[in-house]
């Protein structure tokens, strides 16, 4: 019989025995489950009986309604448990269950009688002694019934446990019996198989060893017809063929040795080629990675990370060399804990050692197989951190070392010649990429500087063009508003019968004219920095704020209401606020711009708050100061907008904005030596705070302007190409009692002055405009001073006090300069000084 047949027969017998054992186990397991279920019911009955006994005793002692409810609940739950037989089959078990049911029912009846007896106490108090005796007997019976039921439950539980243990013993015994049978069958089958297999296998093993030792004379001569017999016959045929074809043993050994030597050499060459290819691939990968980067930190980080991941190394860093020491520029991510241990974090400085580092910064590749044997600070620092071998590769650019690549491993002599050559080539590529990055950075910086210069030049040209255009516009605007200002001031001074409303309106017109004139005068300040030309005076901030509110009422009240929007103007003004020193028109214009900006920032309405306060000290220690704040509840600004909001021409209003509002406010604060701060959050509104120094006591004195007409009866010649200005000046001066002659141009003024001098009726004062066609005010003044040097010349200019736009020429042949629109008090003061009535 074949071995495979014997094994299959043993397998079938084992399967049959296992099936029988499984059936027996299933039956005993089912019995075990039944016993466990009966034990669980017995436990429930025992717990219910014990609970009823305890609750009966507590109810007998205290008669509490809570105890009564608990007793009834427990009685019902126990009734549900013992209602059926619950798989109890033995006579003893069934008898105990019957006794438990009987006692349970009797106990329920006794508990009901005891409850009825409690009602009798209330209905028949005269029978209390009898009822108490009856209650004691019923209580005793209940306790006895509960105790008996509990005893039966305990007997039932003990019986269930005994049955469960018996079933368990049967299960274990049957399992042991069947296991023994299976074991006997398996052992018998294995014994038969081994006896028929082991001896032939041992014979075959012996034959293999003999043939393997070189002897080909051994013959098995097997006669069995099983698998081993077939194998033995095949072995004999193989030995016979080998006997016919094989060579001598010595020749075979020599050929084997030669073959092994050749294989070893080829494997070594193959490993070397593979290592070189891996290094070349890594070098190519690093070169491609750093070639895409233009900043040194990124290049260095890529190099160290690739070395840590793929070379690999235990510590890697790149240091920059400044000619005297090394500075750590980049440390690998895995090398950072070691770098902290060696105090070689980013930015750390390393002195140049006389051995390795000094040779490296001279351009040599340095390899130390065991740093413990090198008695210099830097190798010893690596040795203390657990490193044993080290390679230092210089980074050269144009024959100059600008950095060092440091790599180390924890094993001695762990860098091969291939590794050193790879690190040398890598350092050359890194040096080239780093040099390109440095050149790119320098080129980028130069480009940025050039771009910034172009932007500044473009902006300067735009501002210059604006200033040149503004200079011409300023002259025309000042000429246009001069009569308005003169007539408004004259009416306020001479017309005493004006109504309060009319006088108030004229005052608003006068302040508006001043603001327009101040705005026009400062338009050129955007393209050319100049020293302030206006005279500062004391300013009542709270009163000025009231004027600004009145001036802007149409913008924050009337115009929004037409669109159905309500903007509330709130004022939180500090009392007894000291005055500040400044130009009231400029500050008023700045507040007006801020209110307009606040209104524009609240398209759906909101509140504008004007707030003032006084403080003794500023943040920088200077002081005291007055702070003026304009706050709104509008859209607010993000950080980018806040950074640029003070720049000229920067606006977020699109075509509606000019970008000069906040720039004008900033220029005003600079001219007043004030501080400006902007607090804004997107969606939460904006607050602009301006802090002005308080006027000192010595600064409160203001030059007194004479209110009387200086030098009555002065002969005055007025020269201007604007007939409206001529008419207004003539009317004002005639009201002051002067003799006025007017000329409608520069040449006409020169002719009239020459005729008067020839006739002996010369003029005492000449008032001339600066900007006139053909013959301007400078030529008029020069001619007057050449003909009659004693005649006073007052120059009126719509370009402000600088005479000519975009020139730094000082006034020549001029005694006084007045800006348009002129004020009556300034005109009178100038005439008084020219006529000698005021020094």
Rounded Cα gap, residues 797 and 158, in angstroms: 127
Alpha helices in 495-581 (DSSP H): 500-522, 541-551, 553, 559-562
pTM: 0.34
Q: What are phi and psi of 399, to 5 degrees?
A: 65, 15
* Mean pLDDT score of the chain: 79
Quick one: pLDDT band at residue 613, thresholds 50, 70, 90? very high
User: What per-residue confidence (pLDDT) applies to 595?
Assistant: 92
For the cut 60, the answer to whether the pLDDT of residue 708 exceeds it is no
CB < 8 Å & 24+ apart, contacts of 57-64: 57/143, 57/146, 59/111, 59/114, 60/114, 60/139, 60/142, 60/143, 63/118
799-839 per-position pLDDT tens digit: 654 444 434 444 567 888 887 778 888 888 888 888 765 44
Between the alpha carbon of residue 407 and those of residues 314, 319, 743, the distances in Å are 8, 11, 94
User: What per-residue confidence (pLDDT) applies to 248?
Assistant: 53
Write out the two tokens for 437. Answer: 């990055």
User: What per-residue confidence (pLDDT) applies to 806?
Assistant: 39
CB atoms within 10 A of CB 695: 18
User: What per-residue confidence (pLDDT) applies to 532?
Assistant: 43
User: What per-residue confidence (pLDDT) applies to 698?
Assistant: 45
User: What per-residue confidence (pLDDT) applies to 766?
Assistant: 92
Contact 379, 356 (CB under 8 A): yes
User: What per-residue confidence (pLDDT) applies to 802?
Assistant: 43
Query: SS3 for 451?
Result: helix
794-807 per-position pLDDT tens digit: 988 876 544 444 34
Q: Does residue 182 come out as left (phi exceeding 0), alpha (psi in the -120 to 50 range) or beta?
A: alpha
User: What per-residue confidence (pLDDT) applies to 181?
Assistant: 77
User: What per-residue confidence (pLDDT) applies to 3?
Assistant: 66
CB atoms within 10 A of CB 326: 24
Quick one: pLDDT band at residue 471, thresholds 50, 70, 90? low
259-278 per-position pLDDT tens digit: 888 888 888 888 777 777 77
Rounded Cα gap, residues 405 and 384, in angstroms: 20
User: What per-residue confidence (pLDDT) applies to 459?
Assistant: 63
User: What per-residue confidence (pLDDT) applies to 674?
Assistant: 87
Rounded Cα gap, residues 707 and 825, in angstroms: 7
3-state helix, strand, coil in the chain (%, to 5): 60, 15, 25
Instruction: Identify which has the larger pLDDT, 672 or 211.
Output: 672
Contact 305, 332 (CB under 8 A): yes
Quick one: pLDDT band at residue 334, thresholds 50, 70, 90? confident
For the cut 60, the answer to whether the pLDDT of residue 88 exceeds it is yes
Instruction: Identify which has the larger pLDDT, 525 or 714.
Output: 714
338-364 per-position pLDDT tens digit: 888 888 888 888 888 766 788 888 888
User: What per-residue confidence (pLDDT) applies to 530?
Assistant: 44
For the cut 70, the answer to whether the pLDDT of residue 591 exceeds it is yes
User: What per-residue confidence (pLDDT) applies to 760?
Assistant: 86
Quick one: pLDDT band at residue 166, thresholds 50, 70, 90? confident
Contact 342, 335 (CB under 8 A): no
Rounded Cα gap, residues 16 and 28, in angstroms: 19
- Tokens 């004219």 found at: 513
476-518 per-position pLDDT tens digit: 777 777 778 777 777 777 777 778 787 778 777 877 777 776 6
Contact 80, 40 (CB under 8 A): no
User: What per-residue confidence (pLDDT) applies to 467?
Assistant: 64
Quick one: pLDDT band at residue 319, thresholds 50, 70, 90? very high
Q: Region 268-289: what's the mean pLDDT?
A: 76
Rounded Cα gap, residues 794 and 828, in angstroms: 11
Q: Region 579-590: what's the mean pLDDT?
A: 87
For the cut 70, the answer to whether the pLDDT of residue 390 exceeds it is yes
For the cut 60, the answer to whether the pLDDT of residue 453 exceeds it is yes
Highest mean pLDDT among 71-75, 288-292, 481-485: 71-75
């Amino acid at each position: 019989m074949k071995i495979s047949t014997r094994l299959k027969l043993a397998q079938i017998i084992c399967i049959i025995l296992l099936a029988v054992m499984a059936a027996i186990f299933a039956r005993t397991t089912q019995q075990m489950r039944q016993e466990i279920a009966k034990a669980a019911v017995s436990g429930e009955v025992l717990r219910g009986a014990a609970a009823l006994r305890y609750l009966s005793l507590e109810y007998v002692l205290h008669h509490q309604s809570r105890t009564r409810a608990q007793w009834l609940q427990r009685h019902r739950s126990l009734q549900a448990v013992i209602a059926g037989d619950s798989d109890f089959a033995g006579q003893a078990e069934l008898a105990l269950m019957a006794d438990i049911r009987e006692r349970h029912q009797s106990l329920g009846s006794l508990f009901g009688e005891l409850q009825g007896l409690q009602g009798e106490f209330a209905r028949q108090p005269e029978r209390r002694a009898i009822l108490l005796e009856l209650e004691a007997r019923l209580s005793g019976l209940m306790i006895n019934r509960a105790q008996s039921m509990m005893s039966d439950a305990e007997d039932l539980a003990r019986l269930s446990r005994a049955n469960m243990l018996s079933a368990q013993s049967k299960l274990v015994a049957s399992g042991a019996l069947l296991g023994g049978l299976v074991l006997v069958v398996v052992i018998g089958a294995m014994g038969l198989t081994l006896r028929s297999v082991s001896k032939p296998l041992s014979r075959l093993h012996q034959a293999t060893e003999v043939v393997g030792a070189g002897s080909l004379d051994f013959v098995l001569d097997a006669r069995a017809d099983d698998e081993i017999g077939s194998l033995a016959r095949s072995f004999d045929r193989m030995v016979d063929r080998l006997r016919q074809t094989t060579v001598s043993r010595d020749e075979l050994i020599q050929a084997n040795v030669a073959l092994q030597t050749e294989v070893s050499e080829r494997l070594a060459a193959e490993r070397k080629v593979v290592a070189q290819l891996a290094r070349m691939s890594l070098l190519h990968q690093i070169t491609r990675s750093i070639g895409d980067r233009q900043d040194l930190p990124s290049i260095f980080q890529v190099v160290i990370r690739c070395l840590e991941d793929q070379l690999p190394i235990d510590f890697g860093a790149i240091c920059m060399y400044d000619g005297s020491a090394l500075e750590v520029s980049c440390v690998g991510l895995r090398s950072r804990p070691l770098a902290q241990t060696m105090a070689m974090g980013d930015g750390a400085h390393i002195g140049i050692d006389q051995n390795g580092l000094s040779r490296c910064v001279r351009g040599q590749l340095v390899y130390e197989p065991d740093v413990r044997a090198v008695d210099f600070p830097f190798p010893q620092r690596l040795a203390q951190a657990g490193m044993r071998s080290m390679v230092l590769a210089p980074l050269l650019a144009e024959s100059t070392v600008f950095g060092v690549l440091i790599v180390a491993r924890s094993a001695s002599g762990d860098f091969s010649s291939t590794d050193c050559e790879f690190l040398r080539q890598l350092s050359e590529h890194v040096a080239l990429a780093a040099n390109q990055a440095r050149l790119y950075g320098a080129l980028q910086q130069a480009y940025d500087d050039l771009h910034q210069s172009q932007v500044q030049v473009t902006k300067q040209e735009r501002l210059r063009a604006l200033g040149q255009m503004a200079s011409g516009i300023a002259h025309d605007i000042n000429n246009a508003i001069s009569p308005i200002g003169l007539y408004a001031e004259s009416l306020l001074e001479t017309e005493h019968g004006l109504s309060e409303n009319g006088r108030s309106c004229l005052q608003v017109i006068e302040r508006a004219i001043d603001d327009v004139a101040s705005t026009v005068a400062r338009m050129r300040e955007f393209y050319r920095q100049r020293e302030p030309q206006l005279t500062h005076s004391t300013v009542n901030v709270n009163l000025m704020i009231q004027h600004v509110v009145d001036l802007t009422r149409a913008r924050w009240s009337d115009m929004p209401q037409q669109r159905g929007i309500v903007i509330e103007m709130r004022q939180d003004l500090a009392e007894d606020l000291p005055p500040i020193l400044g130009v009231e028109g400029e500050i008023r214009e700045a507040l007006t711009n801020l209110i307009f900006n606040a209104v524009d920032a609240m398209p759906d309405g909101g509140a504008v708050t004007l707030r003032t306060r006084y403080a003794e000290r500023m943040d920088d220690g200077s002081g005291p100061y007055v702070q003026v704040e304009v706050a709104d509840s509008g859209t607010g600004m993000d950080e980018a907008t806040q950074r640029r909001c003070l720049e000229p021409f920067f606006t977020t209003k699109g075509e509606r904005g000019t970008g000069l509002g906040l720039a004008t406010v900033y220029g005003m604060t600079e001219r007043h030596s004030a501080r400006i701060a902007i607090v804004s959050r997107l969606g939460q509104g904006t607050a602009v705070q301006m802090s002005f120094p308080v006027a000192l006591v010595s600064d409160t004195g203001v030059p007194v302007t004479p209110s009387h007409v200086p030098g009555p009866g002065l002969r005055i010649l007025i020269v201007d190409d604007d007939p409206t200005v001529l008419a207004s000046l003539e009317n004002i001066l005639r009201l002051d009692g002067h003799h006025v002659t007017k000329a409608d141009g520069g040449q006409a003024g020169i002719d009239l002055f020459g005729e008067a001098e020839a006739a002996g009726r010369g003029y005492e004062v000449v008032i001339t405009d600066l900007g006139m066609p053909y013959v301007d005010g400078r030529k008029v003044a020069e001619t007057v001073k050449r003909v009659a040097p004693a005649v006073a010349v007052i120059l009126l200019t719509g370009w402000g006090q600088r005479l000519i736009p975009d020139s730094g020429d000082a006034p020549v042949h001029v005694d006084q300069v007045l800006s348009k629109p002129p004020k009556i008090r300034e005109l009178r003061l100038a005439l008084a000084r020219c006529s000698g009535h005021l020094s």
